[in-house]
Amino acid sequence: MKKSRKNKRRLLPIFVIAGIVVACAITAICYGMMSSDKKVDKDYETETINIVQNNNPSENESDDYDNHNDYDYSLSNSSSPYMVKVNRAANCVTVYAKDEDGHYTVPVKAILCSTGKKTGDTPLGTFTTSDKYDWRLMVDGTYSQYAYRIEGEIMFHSVPCFDDKKDELEYKEYNKLGTPASLGCIRMTVRDAKWLYDNCPKGTTVVIYDDADNPGPLGKPESIKIPENSKYSGWDPTDPDPKNPWLSCYPVISNAIDLTIKAGSSTDLLKHITAVDTCGNDISKNVGITGNYDLNKPGIYTVTYTVTDILGKTTSVSACITVTDMDIETTPIEPATPVRETTSSRKNTDYDNYRYTTTAPETTTTPQETTVPTYDPTEPPTEAPTTTEPPTTTKQQTTTPKPTQTEPPTTTQKQTKEPSPDDSTKKTRNPDGNTE
Out of 92, 113, 161, 185, pick the active-site residue: 185
List, as own/partner pairs, every contact residues 422-426 make where C-beta atoms lie below 8 angstroms and the sequence separation is at least 24, other chains included: 422/347, 422/348, 422/349, 423/348, 425/348, 426/231, 426/348
For residues 237 and 191, is the Cβ–Cβ distance under 8 A?
no
Name the nearest CA neighbour of 127 among 102, 153, 157. 153
335-338-344 Cα angle (round to 5): 145
Query: Residue 338: enclosing H or E segment and its boundaries?
Result: none
Respond yes or no: is residue 157 known to be catalytic. yes
Residue 197 backbone dihedrals phi, psi, to 5 degrees: -60, -40
Spot the catalytic one: 157, 161, 249, 279.
157
Q: For residues 370 and 362, give the distance between their C-alpha atoms in angstroms, rounded to a whole number.
A: 19
Contact indicator for 126, 65 with CB cutoff of 8 Å: no
| Angstrom distance (rounded) from CA 82 to CA 61 | 27
SS3 state at 260: strand
Are the CB atoms for 373 and 391 separated by under 8 Å? yes
CB 239, CB 146: distance < 8 Å: no
Say if residues 65 and 123 touch (Cβ distance below 8 Å): no
Residue among 174, 357, 162 nearest 274 (CA): 357
E strands in 225-313: 252-254, 259-262, 274-276, 288-290, 299-308
Minimal CA–CA distance to 269: which of 248, 282, 253?
253
Q: Are 227 and 279 in contact (CB under 8 A)?
A: yes
Active site residues: 157, 185
